[in-house]
Amino acid sequence: MVELTISAAPKYAARGLPLTIDVTPEATLGDVKAAVAEKFSKLKPSRQRLTVKGERKALVDEKRLSDVLGPDAGGWELQVKDLGPQVSWKTVFIVEYIGPMIIHPLLYHFPRFWYGQDVQHSALQKYVYIFVMLHFAKRELETLFVHRFSHGTMPWVNIFRNSAHYHILGGLLLAGDVYRPKFSATSPYIVDTIRNNERFLWICTGIWAFAEISNLHTHLTVRALRPPGTRTRGIPQGYGFNLVSFPNYFFETVGWVVISVMTGSVGAWIFTLVAGVTMAMWSIKKHKNYKKEFGKEYPRNRRAMIPFVL
């Protein structure tokens, strides 16, 4: 056994710190968090951020103390910061996606309440409604049965920020625009136009279905790389990944572009643009992390999100 000092991180004051605990060199950071939680019941493991003294990078739970602090058992010290109340990423995703699944049916099935008149839904509106509901049902099922999260929790207040994109833009804005009388079966915007052409709608359906199925396939590929209960990361290969690091973002963007093109809806285009830019920013950041982590092993010609472009 060796003595490990747990002190407060900079700008974080906590009564009872520094704390000294007895641990074995083979103990993991997860074991340390559990020991701290025993001393401070409020400071649950999910709320703790452990770092080496003088460093800012958070330590992962699976790492052993001897790997982090070296073989010398003298003067070991870590710093802890309380991250505040947490919520699981799975819960965040479920709340995000359930918003549109509630909002779209309300606006689609009760148009008189929202628009002051009944709406005879066009084929276009029916297609969009089905697309949106299937997409978010798929996302919910993926959250429950496919995704494996490298980070278990996030600050609970962030659930409101994360949900705003889907509830406001993908819910109220998109539904409120597409299901209004302008897109109804009797509207000049629809009657005798390509938006009422069955062949056009079926072509859009085919492209949208291709994008959704491809998106699911990439999620399953990533899942297979990470054994349950681990943070193991590997280099994804195969369909989509031969061209970009995050084909899941690319295929999802394609699906929303289809809805935007087939409707010409301003609300749809705003949601698609915001979502596309956001996913592009995520992919660029994660692409750099991949190259940094795997170095020369990572495919050099692979782009971040859009084949041959980005």
Is residue 207 in a domain? yes
Domain span at 201: 87-297
Low-confidence residues in the chain, pLDDT < 70: 13-14, 71-75, 229-231
Which of 84, 111, 138 is where one domain is finished? 84
Query: Of 214, 212, 205, whose CA–CA distance to 138 is shortest?
Result: 212
From 60, 84, 108, give the residue that closes a domain: 84
Query: The tokens 């689609």 sit on which residue?
Result: 108
Assigned domain for 309 exists? no
Rounded to whole angstroms, the Cα distance separating 172 from 45 reads 37
Q: Is residue 308 part of a domain?
A: no
What value does the mean pLDDT of the chain take?
91
∠ CA 93-94-99, rounded to 5°: 100
> Could you give the CA distance from residue 93 to residue 102 in angstroms, rounded to a whole number?
15
306 within a domain of the structure (yes/no): no
- Same domain, yes or no, for 258 and 285? yes
Look up the CATH number of the domain holding residue 73: 3.10.20.90
270 occurs within a structural domain: yes
Specify whether 58 is located in the same domain as 91: no
Q: How many CB atoms lie within 10 A of CB 118?
A: 11
Number of domains in the chain: 2
Same domain, yes or no: 116 and 191: yes
Q: What Å distances lie between residue 184 and 119, 187, 202, CA to CA?
A: 6, 5, 18
Residues 77 and 93 in one domain: no
pLDDT (0 to 100) of residue 253: 98
What does the pLDDT look like over 111-130, one tens digit per residue? 999 999 999 999 999 999 99
- 70 and 6 co-located in one domain: yes
Classify residue 303: in a domain, yes or no. no
Measured from the Cβ of residue 14, the count of other Cβ atoms closer than 10 Å reads 17
In this structure, the answer to whether residues 47 and 97 fall within a common structural domain is no
Say if residue 228 is in the same domain as residue 246: yes
Residue 50 and residue 116 in one domain: no
Residues 168 and 275 occupy one common structural domain:
yes
Asked if 184 and 100 sit in the same domain, the reply is yes
- Asked if residue 310 is part of any domain, the answer here is no
28 is a domain residue: yes
- 69 and 113 share a domain? no
Residues 63, 100 within the same domain:
no
Residue 243 has a pLDDT of 96
Residue that finishes a domain, picked among 55, 84, 113: 84
pLDDT of amino acid 237: 93
